[in-house]
Structure formats: C-alpha cells, structure tokens
Structure 1
Amino acid sequence: MKHSNGAQLFLRNDPAKTAPLSTKKPLTIGKASTNLLCMPQTDGVADHHAVVRWSVGHGWLICDWGSQEGTFLEGQRIRNCRPISDGDEIQLGKVGPVLVFRLAPASSQPTPEPAVKSSAGGNLEFAGQLIPMNQIKFVQLLSRPRYPASFSWWALLSLGALVVLPWPPAFWTLELVVLAGWIVLGSRKEHVLLVTLLDGMAYRHSFANKVTALGHRNGIRKAIGQPSSA
C-alpha cells in the first residue's frame, strides 16, 4: 500500500497504509500474489476475495469474488457488486481486515464518461465488458416470458383439482385462484438486450422495464450509426 491523493482504500486500524484506485484498472484483493492488493498473511482473506472497480453507470463498486469468507459492506454481506460511497467500510470475512473507502476531493474526482460514446473508436461498457464500438455488428431487444412454464403449472393444478376436489364449488374457487396466478405470472416478461460483435461474440443484459431496455438499445444504435427502428 502507498499514499495517493485520489480515490483510495486504507486500513481502518492503520490509516497510513493506503491503496490507490484507478478508473482504468480494477483493484483485486486477496492472499494470492497475483492480486494488486496482496494480503498473504491476513486471516479471513481468501486467495481471490474481492475487487474494487469503477463503473461508468454506477461509480465505484465493491464486488465479492464468491469467497467463502464473504465480503461485508457497512456490516451487510454483499452478493456480486454494490456501489460504495465516501467513508464506507469494507470488511473481508467476519474476522478479516476492515478497509475504508475514501473518495477523491471534488476537484480530482473522475468525470463520468457517457454510457455510449459517439466516436467510432470509442468503447461501450456493457454487461461488465468494455466493447469497442466499431466492433459492434448489431443490437437487438428480445422480450420473453419470465415464467415460461406457468401455463403448464396451471394445467397440472387444474387437472389435479378435478381428481382431489369432487365438489364443484371448491373446484371452481381453486380454479379461479390458480387462473389469476397464471395470468399474473404469464404477463411478466424479461427484456434482454443482445449486443453481437463482428466476430460472432455476443453479450446480453436483462432489464425488467421495456422502456429502459429500449432506451439503451436506441442509444447504442445511434452511436454506431444504425437507425433506432431497425
């Protein structure tokens, strides 16, 4: 660890020990020597424990690497990634060290880049990947049922009710309840934005809201020179 005037992490028990953060390169944390922040002799730390990285859309993030010991943000165990703010405390494992996130002064904070760059040589951050804009072949939005098997379950329960409930009033009451549940589940959809590259590689990201997904799709298409309605 060393001193840095920018965004950084420091040990709560030894504030003189700091690790600078870069918007260009994630800070990997763990016991293994391949980590940028290597803590080989520290209890509660896994070989590959956590990552602190910069996201265009969300700012600074702390991400757990699926460590058995867990990563805790302000006392709460996290899954995947969570945004962090100035002064937040990150604990590695239940008995591991506590790292404090310190944001750079306002004058030196990184200026967030637009989610979609208009220049042909720019990059797009999508699904955790940095994709060259000039390598994108096409972008499409796929909407599909979130619970595709809901009709099958409704039919199965209906047939089961005919066998178990011989009384018509009880059967029709259950039938209406199950039908209402099928309608609710069947109407829910997942909207997947698919970005396909020239080499055939594809990346996808799911949205619960179609309007949001369409906004992202149209923004990317505009940036790569394709019509929004294509």
Structure 2
Amino acid sequence: MSSHPRLLLRDDPGRSVPLDPRTPLSIGRDPASGLCLSQAQGVSRQHALVRVSRTRPGQWLLCDLGSANGTYLEGARLRDCRPLSDGDEIRLGLQGPVLQFRATAAASAGGRPAAPVVAQPAAGQLDFAGRSLPLDRIRSAYVRSRRRHPQAFSWWLLLCLGGLLLLPFPWLFWPLQLGALAGWILLGSRWEHLLEVTLQDGLAYRHRFDSLETALAHRNGIRKAMGPAPAAGRRP
C-alpha cells in the first residue's frame, strides 16, 4: 500500500488518487484537474483543492475554490481551508460525489485505537451509546467539535471590567486580573467532540468524547460497519 494519503470515491472504493505533498490536488470538471469528475452532478470546473499546510508540515487541508454548489467537510460547508483527519468525508455540492480522505497505512492502522463503541450483537445491528440501531437505517455519522465553555471570554471580560473598581488597590486588582486571565486560558482551551449518528427518519443520537482521536476512531468504525453506500447514495 502507498505510504501517501489518498482520496477515495465513497461509492467506488476502487477509484482513488494518491496525494503528493509537493503538488496540491485540484478537484473539478476541468480535464486538467488532478481529480477530474467531468460527469459528476453539481461539481464546478474548479471545485476544491487538497494541499499540505504551509505552517504545519504533514497536515493536509481542504479548500473550496469558490464552487457554485459548495464543498462540505463532514456535513459542514467550507468557508475557508480546513484540516483533514483520517476518514473524513468530503461532499462536492449538496448532491454531488463523496470523497473519503485516508491517511497513510501506518496512521490508519496504528495511529488511533479501535472503535469500541461499534459492537454488532446481531446481524445488521449496531450498538451506539447504549442503543441498538439497525445498520440499514443509519444515514450518516459525523464528528462535531465545539468549545466546552464558549462563554469563557465573556466571563473573563466581565471580571476584567469589574476589576477596574479595584484599580486603586493594586494588591487586589492584579491578582484578580491574573486569575481571570488564567481562567480564560484554561476554560477557553477545552474542547469537546460530539459523535452524531443520524438515522433515515432524521432522528440523531450523540455521544461526547474528550479526545478528538477517539471520536474519529469511533466514527470510522461506524462507517466501516455500515459498508459502502449504494449507487443511489444511502447518505445525503
């Protein structure tokens, strides 16, 4: 297996394109594109670009090139370049083809733990967060990352403004300001990662993880259990 990351067509896993860190991969209907999808519905001539970050070597980025129908990473529309993780799904337009980003063989095999949340007690069933879900009813599995304390900046700002009342008393003012700053840094840097499994009828089930790597490993395990999507697309 190639040591380079690859992009795979989800509905045609046999078709894949290796990624070269020296050359960004362009995606679109243009015949000159590195990945040409001339017959794909909703794909622009120059739709998206996959390249290595200039500031973080080894980190791959997905960038939208001003496409008419948008580029979606894990269900969220891109507004700028976003980093890619192993197993991420890229959709070109709302109804366009879906690509999967696969890291190197070493990273895929040993970089992350197995996905213990995925258990199949019976054929066609998936245990997720204490519930048994039929595999054929699962539409998608995505990871959403968000700050655990999004109000941390507001709290810090209020404490700083309130601390101005203590300005004539520096032995109280400066400890309060330093404590507020430390609290903002500590709380503002904490993230949580929600693994969301959505069924065909729109019902969604979520499980929270502190580690992004663990959440991604569970997501990849669920997608593996689901198997390849049918030609018509089991997931939108």
TM-score, normalised to structure 2's length?
0.44
Larger Rg: 1
TM-score, normalised to structure 1's length?
0.45
The answer to which structure, 1 or 2, has the higher relative contact order (CA under 8 A, 6+ apart) is 2
